[in-house]
A and B are shown apart, each in its own frame.
Chain A
């Protein structure tokens, strides 16, 4: 067969990893002792399809390993075993191991064989064998020690219909060693009922070969289910069976020796085709694609309507034209939204790893922790989703390790012994909010503050910080809140990296905590990175864009609302809050139409929790803008997060709201920030 199987590798790995995720969550949902057949079946199917796929592609280690898992699961499926806590743990570990094996196979790395064998032994032990017997069996399976195999092969009548030919299998067996075939004709019917398309013969085979059981089973792979097959070691001079104690050594040696040969071939095949399948892919629901096709259909109709209209146009048909253009606008917008939706994935892709993590960590930390999740269906841009995974893991780890107390501590504090960690995701005004809430100990403000003072991050004599400023300290690099480092937290990314990662995708992170009650960490993320809703504002002759999500409100002020601090810094009072006024024309050195605050407009904006007012001449309109990079051809400009192209083809700058607010805090707004640039 000349089919290049390697082209399917990527699909196999993707499907297998997805399957493993499903398996893992299925296992976690299974209560010990339960016999929820549907769940067990689902888990079994995953193991089965991975085994089948791996066998097809020749990933023998994976096949052998999943086979044992499958056998165990099959027992549970048929009701001869129940899922116990220990088997659940071993199966979960097997999922990890399988994932590692698949990753290694995909990346052409050697597989961690001792780990595989350890787990395989564990699985076999669960299958009801004593460890000694399992070692002996493993030895029999892996290395027959030169004696060979007795194979009893009885095809079911319909076997030929699947295109299998026993003689071909026997020839393959012959390649493994010397073969003696004995036909069993007892099943032959009389001539009157003989059907030439059915199998009636059976065979007893004796294979004298050092080939492992795997190799023998492989020959019969395609007829599995279509025959009765028994493979038993040849009795007699089998050294492995005679000396089970010394068996473990060959177990380790044989697969190790066999392993390099097969992956080597696979590696060569994949290397040849690695050019095709490198790019990351995305799975899109068929409903999204259908919606897209519908939309394009409508767009084509509108377009043909408009072009027909233009053929003999006179002014009386202007209303029709305008209606057509409105429709075109709607179509375009819908199309754009559908295309963007393709990139959107439910946040459950990230959330799904947490049940397992909480399961493992609560055992390790000997805490009782319940994980609640809501809003898993909230969709998020794929790029954002990929970048948010690690920070979220870190935050949840923190909650488990530092947040939730030990059961005895909780009992003493009058709380439920089982702590709760709640993950929640929802939309709020164009943002995605992810909240991680725990009902643990909360952050000790005094301790945090004294630590910060120790490190000189906060001046001793400074006025007392508000809660927000104190909690912000935990994001400071070099300031660890951990009393003692454990292997749960205190490794990998720190809180400063968490914040940096979230900022990199345009998000913010906030901490709220009350000692003894719990901590809530709120992450705000933009829906998507490439397109945003913007408010165009005019400053003199220039047009700037303020992201709509940052605008709180726009107000017209009276002079008596404005106060001057130290004769320079303008503030206005807005509902019991004093806000700094930033005159955009001063920041951007433009020539404004109005210089009096009364004549123009004040736009109240919020960025990273800080508020300020921007003074502009007027608001122009709202529109969706496609963000373009200024850096690509030029450089980063302070106060500007990017540029976009307006409807008339001119370029307009998008304001970096948090950056501008920071700028305003740093410099008094009446001083132009860039007096120096003219000199350069």
Chain B
């Protein structure tokens, strides 16, 4: 990914829902298809054992050595409050480069499987309906229809927010 592309992607994101056109990597989670901005994806790798980190929320599986960098791995099912499943050879980690507190950080997401690459124009992305307080949707950017299926577009930057981590810090 070139810098120019990355900048474009960031600009687009700043422009609100209407600007979310581009390519998305889609993945499967509990039968549903989700998508993240493909420009944020650094790599996709198989599941390998991680080192558990004490005193962290359950959805943080641990950390992994990614060519010398320590990368936290988040189980997206647990992050969304879904039931945890045993990891299989098909379980993959999507390594994303996200912005948090203005800093570039690398995180890994554990998902059931990677599906496809989807192109969507700004018009095709529809805003997500409001579910009330029962469903957490702050990281959902919009919904898009592809091949008669609905894909939920996630904002990679909001998947593991600083606020959540700080809230956890405050408990102890």
The listed residue (B55, B58, B68) touching A628 by CB distance below 8 A is: B68
Residues 620-654 of chain A, each 1 if its beta carbon lies under 8 Å from chain B, else 0 = 00000000111011110111100101000111110
Give every chain B residue within 8 A of A645 (Cβ-Cβ): 65, 68, 70
**Interface members, chain B 56-115 (any A CB < 8 Å):** 56-58, 60, 62-65, 68-72, 105-107
Interface assignment of A674: CB less than 8 Å from any CB of chain B? yes
Option from A632, A673, A674 in Cβ contact (under 8 Å) with B70: A632
Chain A residues, CB < 8 A from B68? 628, 645
Contacts of B51 in A (CB 8 A): 542, 643, 650-653
Q: In whole angstroms, how far apart are the Cα atoms of A662 and B108 in the complex?
A: 32
The size of the chain A interface, using a CB distance under 8 A, is 29
> How extensive is the interface on chain B, given as a class?
20 to 34
A residues near B65, Cβ cutoff 8 Å: 645, 649-651
Within the assembled complex, what's the spacing in Å between the Cα atoms of A629 and B72?
A: 11
Judge whether B135 is part of the interface by a CB distance below 8 angstroms. Answer: no
List A contacts of B57 (CB < 8 A). 677, 680
Whether a CB of chain B sits under 8 angstroms from the CB of A274 is no
Cβ-based interface call for B167 (8 A): yes
A640 lies within 8 A of B105 (CB)? no
Interface mask (A536-550 → B, CB under 8 Å = 1, otherwise 0): 000000100000000
| A674→B107 contact, CB < 8 A | no
A639 to B167, CA, bound (A): 18
Min CB distance B102 to A, Å, is 14
Residues of chain B within 8 A of A630, CB atoms compared: 53, 63, 70
Q: Is the interface of B mostly helix, strand, loop or mixed?
A: mixed
Measured CB to CB, the nearest residue on chain A to B57 is A680
Find B53's partner among A653, A673, A680 (CB 8 Å cutoff). Answer: A653
Q: Residue of A at shortest CB range from B49?
A: A650
- Find chain A residues with CB under 8 A from B162 CB: 635
Q: A interface vs B, CB < 8 Å?
A: 542, 587-590, 628-630, 632-635, 637-640, 643, 645, 649-653, 673-674, 676-678, 680
Q: Return the chain B residue nearest A667 by Cβ.
A: B172
In-complex Cβ contact of B55 among A542, A649, A677 (8 A): A677
With A633-B71, A633-B106, A649-B65 in contact, is A588–B54 under 8 Å at CB?
yes
With A590-B52, A650-B65, A678-B58 given, can you name 20 additional A-B contacts, CB distance below 8 Å? A587-B54, A589-B54, A628-B70, A629-B70, A630-B63, A633-B70, A634-B53, A634-B70, A634-B105, A635-B162, A635-B169, A645-B65, A645-B70, A651-B64, A651-B65, A651-B70, A674-B55, A674-B172, A676-B172, A677-B56
For the complex, what is the distance from the CA of A632 to the CA of B70, rounded to whole Å? Answer: 8
Residue with the highest number of chain B CB atoms closer than 10 Å, among A629, A643, A652, A677: A677
Least CB distance from A627 to B in Å reads 10
- Chain A residues in 8 Å Cβ range of B146: none
Top 10 A-B residue pairs of the complex, sorted by shortest distance between their CB atoms? A588-B54, A651-B51, A634-B72, A676-B171, A674-B55, A633-B105, A645-B65, A680-B57, A635-B165, A643-B70
Chain B positions 150-172 with a Cβ under 8 Å from a chain A Cβ: 162, 165, 167-169, 171-172
Residue pair B53, A637 in contact (C-beta under 8 Å): yes
- Specify the chain A residue showing the minimal Cβ separation from B98: A633
CA distance A192 to B52 in the complex (A): 97
Whole-angstrom distance between the alpha carbons of A677 and B167 in the complex? 10
Known: A639-B54, A676-B172, A680-B57. A628 touches B69 (CB 8 A): yes
Give the residues in chain B near A638, CB-CB below 8 Å.
Answer: 55, 172
Shortest C-beta distance, B82 to chain A (Å), equals: 16
Residues of A within 8 Å of B53, CB to CB, are 630, 634, 637, 640, 653
